[in-house]
Amino acid sequence: MDRSNKPSAIGVSGSLPQPSVSVKDTTIEASLPSGESVTVYLYGATVTSWKANGQEQLFLSEKAHLDGSKPIRGGIPLVFPVFGPPPQNHATSTLPQHGFARNSTWEFLGKSSSDSGPSDLAVKLDFGLTHNMLSEEFRKAWPYEFGLVYSVTLSKDGLATSLHVTNEGKQNFEFQVLMHTYLKVADISDIRVKNLESKTYVDKVRNATSHTEASNALPITEEVDRVYQDLNPEKPIVVSSASDGKPLFSITREALTDVVVWNPWIEKAKGMADFSPDDAYKNMICVEAGSVSAWQTLEAGDSWEGGQSIKSRL
Ligand SMILES: O=P(O)(O)OC[C@H]1O[C@@H](O)[C@H](O)[C@@H](O)[C@@H]1O
C-alpha cells in the first residue's frame, strides 16, 4: 500500500563525507574530509604524524627507527609504567627507561566516528595492550595483569590522546604515564612556553633540584629537561611565537597534572644516534603531559583514565 506522506529517500549526495581509515600491516592512518590526518604505528601505538591546517604538526626524526627495533624518536611515544630510568628497589626496576609501552606491539581494536555535523566530525582509533602481548622479557620484568586501551581522536579541532588503564589481576600495581609529544616548530628561538609561571619544577639538567618557574613566557635557549608539577590540567600549556605573540599549540589535560618540557639542545641531540639531522633540536619542543612525579596506585579490578587534547595554530 502506498503511503501518501512517505518520506523521500535520502540521496547519496545528501550524506556527509565520512572519515577514512586505512589499516596497513604496521600502521593505521585516518583522515577527515576537511584534510586533517593522523598516522599511528602499532609499534608503541606511536602517533608519528598529525596534519592539520595543511601542515605537519609533530616532529619525527629522519633517523627514527620505524621497524620495531627501537622506540620511535618523534611523534607521540607513550611512556608506561615508569618515566625515565626506573628507580632501584621498585617493581619497575628492571624495565628499560620509559617502560615498555613504546616498545611493544599493540593491537588495533577498531575505529569509531562521530558525525553530528561537518564541523565536529571526528574519528577515534583504539589500540590495546595486555600482559600476554608483551615480550617474555617485559612479562618477567613487570608481572602484573593489566589492560591498556589507548585512544587517538582526530577532529577538525585538534588531536586528543587518552589512556585507560585497568588492573585485571589480583595484586595492586603502581604506574606512571606520560604522553611524550614532540611538537614541530619552525624555529626554537621564536618559541615561548606559557602558563608555567610560579609552578614548581624538578630540573633534570641541574641534578634534579627543585625550582619555581619565574617566567610567564619561557624561552628555550639551552638544554631543557624539567618536570613541572601540580598543574591544573584544564589550564592549557600554550606554546607561542615570540615574534607575533600568536599561540602555535595549546595543550589541555585530563587527570595528568605534570608536564615535562624537554629540548636536548646541541650536544645531547648529536649524542642520540636516532636523532637527525643534528640541528633538528631547533625544530622541536617536547611538551609531555603526564603523571610522573608520584605513582598512581591501581587496586585489583580498578581502572584509571587520563589524556591530553592538543589544538594547533589557534
Ligand atoms: O631518549 P629517550 O629515552 O626517548 O628519552 C628522551 C627524554 O625524555 C624526556 O621525557 C626525559 O625527561 C629526558 O630526560 C629524556 O632524555
Q: Per-block average pLDDT, block size 10, for the chain (314 residues)? A: 45 70 98 97 99 97 98 99 98 98 98 79 98 98 98 97 98 98 98 98 98 98 98 98 96 98 98 98 98 98 98 88
The reported pLDDT for the residue numbered 116 is: 67
Q: Which residue has the cell 587527570?
A: 255
208 Cβ below 6 A of ligand 1: no
97 Cβ below 6 A of ligand 1: yes
Mutate to test the pocket of ligand 1, among 180, 207, 229, 275 (most ligand atoms within 8 A of CB): 180
The reported pLDDT for the residue numbered 43 is: 98
The reported pLDDT for the residue numbered 313 is: 86
Which residue's CA is the nearest one to ligand 1's atom 3?
Answer: 97
- State ipTM: 0.99
Query: What is the identity of the amino acid at 45?
Result: A
The reported pLDDT for the residue numbered 6 is: 46
What is the rounded distance in angstroms from the CA atom of residue 114 to the CA atom of residue 125?
Answer: 12
Q: Which domains does the chain have, with CATH numbers?
A: 21-183 (2.70.98.10), 185-297 (2.70.98.10)
Atom of ligand 1 nearest to the CA of 264: 16
Record the pTM.
Answer: 0.95
Mutate to test the pocket of ligand 1, among 179, 225, 267 (most ligand atoms within 8 A of CB): 225
The reported pLDDT for the residue numbered 9 is: 45
Which residue's CA is the nearest one to ligand 1's atom 4?
Answer: 73
Atom of ligand 1 nearest to the CA of 98: 3
The reported pLDDT for the residue numbered 16 is: 75
